[in-house]
Structure 1
Amino acid sequence: MDIRGKTALITGASRGIGRAIALEFARQGINRVLLVARDSQRLAEVADEIRSLNVEAIPLTIDLSQPIEVSIAVAQAWRDHGPVHILVNCAGVAHQATFLQTRLPQVQQEIATNLIGMYTITRLVARRMVAQREGAIVNVSSLMGKLAAPTMATYSATKFAILGFSQALRGELAAHNVKVITLLPTLTDTDMVRHLQWFRWIMPVSSQQVAETLMVGLKRGSNEILVGWQSHLAVWCNRIAPWIMEKILLLAAPLPRKPQKVYPELRKAG
């Protein structure tokens, strides 16, 4: 796939992987980038970086959890800046906790951003891509969309869902010349993960490495793009011996090594 001269819309573009993809697209000859996120100040900074590369950048401050807001913004962007050829769904949030310590508001936020937000903007853009019979949709999942791990149950659930959503969409939109690609980064050193407890033995990759791997995958026409040799090894091991991979994940997870005193009132009741 050749991105030169095209227009891309990237969500989660104010930081991390989304920002890195936007900048890499600019370096690789994209014509225009629509940058979507909630942080207007950071978006403006990324837009300035892209413009310094002689590429048009349009920051769009949008909350993807608000469907009406998203619908209006996409319609206006299409009217003012022309058709979008590439959609990159990168917006996401992650909360880490053992399942018994999870809180419903955090789970709801993960679902609202990682899934509902992605669905909302994809539905609007995909319809227009089908009408123009051209387009590519990149959904950013995670290695945890292939291998779920303790302390990340609900985050993994959303990333597994993105993988399934992408696979179904790929089949539906192929006849309309719209491609659907899934990007699966391993642990990436971004603002989002710095407050999390990292898994043992995992070597994080940079946002730039993720963006460069995406470009290689797009040029090859790959449907699923894994990032980093550890990801390829983990997925291969899971296919050959899933029970061994599950034990490795349990050992790697940042779980307490002694039983926690959780919900003593339940023990007393028992």
Structure 2
Amino acid sequence: MHLQGKTALVTGASRGIGRAIALELARQGVQRLLLVARDSQRLAEVVTEIGALGVDAIALPLDLTQAIATHTAISRAWRDYGPIHLLVNAAGVAHQSSFLRTRLPHVQEEIAVNLVGLYTITRSLARRMAARREGHIVNVSSLMGKVAAPTMATYSATKFAILGFTQALRGELAPYNVQVSALLPSLTDTDMVRELHWFRWVVPLSPSQVAKALVHGLKHDRAEIPVGWQSHLAIWANRLAPWLVEQVVHRAAPSSLG
């Protein structure tokens, strides 16, 4: 995908991977960025950063779990700013706990944001992209969408689901010239994961590394974009010896969590 002169919408853009992706897209020459997140103050700060790069940026403070508000906001954005060529679904939440101590509200939030929110905004934009026969959708999954992690059962489940959703959508939208890709970073040093107990032996990526990998993958039309050598190694090892990867992940996981 050529990014110059395009309009992109990035969810989860107020922090972490979403913010880094928005900034990298601005550096790569997109014409306009629509930024979605729940935190309007932090979103405004990112708009200012992107504006300093000479790129038009618009904040769309939005809770993606609210379907009607999401559809309304997308309709207005499409009307006011024109066609959106690239959607990057980076919004997500993670809660860490041993499964037997999992709290249902945390499970419901992960499913609501990571899956239902992603589905809602994708459905809104995919219909419009298909009508124009132009567009690219990127769903941010995770290495945990390939290799499930103890203490992160629901988060892993949502990331596995995102890969399945992406694969199905890729086939359905291909006749409309709409491409669908999955981004698979491993542990990334963001404020969200700093609150978690990290797995042993994992070297964290920076959000900037993830953003640059995404741009590289877009330019080469990659269907799946693993980020970092650990992701590539884990994915290949899981294909060849899944039992071994499962043992390694089990040993690397935090030993006890409340």
TM-score above 0.5, yes or no: yes
Aligned to 2:163: 163
The aligned residue for residue 252 of structure 1 is 252
- The count of corresponding residues between Structure 1 and Structure 2 is 258
1:43 maps to 43
- Aligned partner letter, 1:11: T
Give the aligned partner of residue 81 of structure 2: 81
**2:172 is equivalent to residue 172 of structure 1:** yes
Matched residue SS, 2:195: coil
- What SS does the aligned partner of 2:193 have? coil
Displacement after TM superposition at 1:255 (Å)? 1.6
Q: 1:151, 1:255 within 8 Å by CA — same for their partners in 2?
A: no
**What is residue 232 of structure 2 aligned with on the other side?**
232
The one-letter amino acid of 2:200's match is: R
Q: After superposition, where does 1:97-246 map in structure 2 within 5 Å?
A: 97-246=97-246
1:140-170, Cα deviation, whole Å (9 max, x unpaired): 0000000001100000000000000000000
Q: Distance in 1 between matches of 2:14 and 2:87?
A: 15
Q: Which has the larger radius of gyration?
A: 1
List runs of 5+ in structure 1 lacking aligned partners: 263-270
Describe the superposition over 1:195-220 as per-residue Cα deviations: whole angstroms up to 9, x where unpaired. 00000000000000000000111111
Q: Alignment partner of 1:194: what SS?
A: helix
Alpha-carbon deviations, 1:78-131, whole Å to 9, x = none? 111001000000000000001001011000000000000000000000000001
Helix, strand or coil for the counterpart of 1:167? helix
Q: Which residue pairs with 1:7 in the alignment? A: 7
Q: CA deviation at 1:227?
A: 0.4
Q: Runs of at least 4 residues of structure 1 off by over 4 A? A: none
Letter aligned with residue 174 of structure 2: A
Distance 1:235 1:80 in 2: 42
Helix, strand or coil: the match of 1:255?
Answer: coil
- TM-score, normalised with respect to structure 2: 0.99
> Is the 8 Å Cα contact of residues 187 and 204 (structure 1) preserved in structure 2?
yes
CA RMSD for the aligned pairs?
1.0
5+ residue gaps, structure 2: none
Q: Distance in 2 between matches of 1:209 and 1:104?
A: 33
Aligned residue number for residue 268 of structure 1: none
Identity %: 69
Aligned to 2:16: 16
For 2:187 and 2:251, the matched residues in 1 are separated by 17
Q: Deviations over 1:57-87 (max 9, x none)?
A: 0000000010011011000101110010000
1:30 and 1:68 mapped to 2: Cα distance?
28
How far apart, in 1, do the equivalents of 2:40 and 2:149 lie? 34
> Taking structure 1 as the reference length, what is the TM-score of the superposition?
0.94
Contact 1:47 1:57 in 2 (8 A): yes
Aligned residue number for residue 69 of structure 1:
69
CA distance in 2, matches of 1:17, 1:243: 31
Counterpart Cα distance in 2 of 1:236 and 1:254: 24
